[in-house]
Amino acid sequence: MRFLKTALLAGALAVTALVSAYAQETKIGFIVKQPEEPWFQDEWKFADQAAKEKGFTLVKIGAEDGEKLMSAIDNLGAQGVQGFIVCTPDVKLGPGIIAKAEANSLKLMTVDDRLVSADGKPIESVPHMGISATKIGEAVGQAIVEEMKARGWKPEEVGAIRVSYDQLPTAVDRVEGAISVLKANGFKAENIFDAPQAKTDTEAALNAATVVLNAHAGLKKWVAFGLNDEAVLGAVRASESVGIAPANMIGVGIGGADSAINEFKKPAATGFVGTVIISPKRHGYETALNMYDWVANNKEPEKLILTSGALAKRDTYEAVRKDLGIE
Ligand code: GLA
């Protein structure tokens, strides 16, 4: 009898130990809208680094549309995740995402694309890390203006492709930042053409930019800017396909991940002149760390963190990446 009691007690203790070990395990989700894009691959890579350092489990899910996103959040809840970071495929899903997170008792932070409410205003209650979009757009504009000057171009003979994705506020801020600098340097407003992309990838940008180039074939010199490197690469590919030489094309992107770096590594320079490198390390590593601190130590993250960027070109990107710690 005594033996049985002891055995039962030992068994109960073992179960308790197991349960509390399970309860202590920290699991954090990281959902991104475009998992194949190098920027998001890098964010995940750096989030993994944080997970390794702190000893939590990172659950990475790609969600290209609202439906996938909603089931991804349920999926995280079912796996016993305590909090997640998301770059949503659609910022207007904001209130729905918040409700879904609450229903699954998940802490929520956003990265890159900030949620908006029904009236289109940013939802300030959800901690967010994004880039300082206007400033970075201005840096793009400045880089374009300097390259135009170096090539001796007159602003009035140049067309600009504004690769646009206007349903995303950070995209608008980025391109408008670039435009403000172009205009301040004598660029004619009527020579700036919208190329609305259906998706934020290179193919969609190529299609959109091709329409603009064909519609304004009288202009022989072009500049291009957009949301990210993929947008600008699309415009550069479009210029090549209609026979515009690299000497007559100036594209400056935003990002600095593999899409841009591979372009710089090509033996001959293309119309993709530069990129403002932003930090996937801060966006991946730091957000994951902040979420970990929130879940494990009840330390709430700052409500809004805006990160900066640094211009890089073919001949400077290695040094700039080193400076940013993202080699
Ligand atoms: C958006 C873009 C990405 C990247 C991030 C940076 O999400 O779609 O390509 O530029 O912003 O914050």
pLDDT at residue 285, as a whole number: 97
Task: Quote the CA–CA distance of 6 and 8 in Å, as a whole number.
Answer: 5
Judge if the beta carbon of residue 87 lies within 6 A of ligand 1: yes
CB-based contact 290:111 (threshold 8 Å): no
pLDDT at residue 325, as a whole number: 80
Judge if the beta carbon of residue 228 lies within 6 A of ligand 1: yes
CB atoms within 10 A of CB 11: 10
Distance 264 CA to ligand 1 centre (A): 20
pLDDT at residue 170, as a whole number: 98
Judge if the beta carbon of residue 202 lies within 6 A of ligand 1: no
Could you tell me the strand order of the sheet in which 57-62 lies? 57-62, 27-32, 83-86, 107-111, 128-131, 304-307
Of the residues 44, 167, 170, 197, which should be mutated to test ligand 1's pocket, given the most ligand atoms within 8 Å of the CB?
170
pLDDT at residue 48, as a whole number: 98
Distance 217 CA to ligand 1 centre (A): 31
Distance 284 CA to ligand 1 centre (A): 12
CB-based contact 110:144 (threshold 8 Å): no
Distance 6 CA to ligand 1 centre (A): 59
Judge if the beta carbon of residue 159 lies within 6 A of ligand 1: no
Distance 24 CA to ligand 1 centre (A): 33
* 3-state secondary structure (DSSP) of residue 62: strand
Give CA separation, 325 vs 30, 46, 221, 280, in Å: 22, 11, 36, 10
CB-based contact 137:174 (threshold 8 Å): yes
Distance 228 CA to ligand 1 centre (A): 6
Q: State the pTM of this model.
A: 0.92
Pairing of strands 221-225, 83-86: unpaired
**Chain centroid offset of residue 313 CA:** 20
Of the residues 113, 232, 233, 307, which should be mutated to test ligand 1's pocket, given the most ligand atoms within 8 Å of the CB?
113
The tens-digit pLDDT sequence of the chain (327 residues) is 555 555 555 555 555 555 444 556 999 999 999 999 999 999 999 999 999 999 999 999 999 999 999 999 999 999 999 999 999 999 999 999 999 999 999 999 999 999 999 999 999 999 999 999 999 999 999 999 999 999 999 999 999 999 999 999 999 999 999 999 999 999 999 999 999 999 999 999 999 999 999 999 999 999 999 999 999 999 999 999 999 999 999 999 999 999 999 999 999 999 999 999 999 999 999 999 999 999 999 999 999 999 999 999 999 999 999 988 876
Distance 48 CA to ligand 1 centre (A): 19
* 3-state secondary structure (DSSP) of residue 193: strand
Distance 17 CA to ligand 1 centre (A): 43
Judge if the beta carbon of residue 254 lies within 6 A of ligand 1: yes
Task: Quote the CA–CA distance of 111 and 31 in Å, as a whole number.
Answer: 10
- For atom 5 of ligand 1, the residue with the nearest CA is 112
Judge if the beta carbon of residue 113 lies within 6 A of ligand 1: yes
pLDDT at residue 323, as a whole number: 87
- For atom 6 of ligand 1, the residue with the nearest CA is 112
Distance 168 CA to ligand 1 centre (A): 10
- For atom 10 of ligand 1, the residue with the nearest CA is 228
pLDDT at residue 87, as a whole number: 98
CB-based contact 282:112 (threshold 8 Å): no
Judge if the beta carbon of residue 227 lies within 6 A of ligand 1: yes
Rg (Cα) of the chain, in Å, rounded? 23
Phi/psi class of residue 303: alpha, beta or left (left: φ > 0; alpha: ψ in -120 to 50)? Answer: alpha
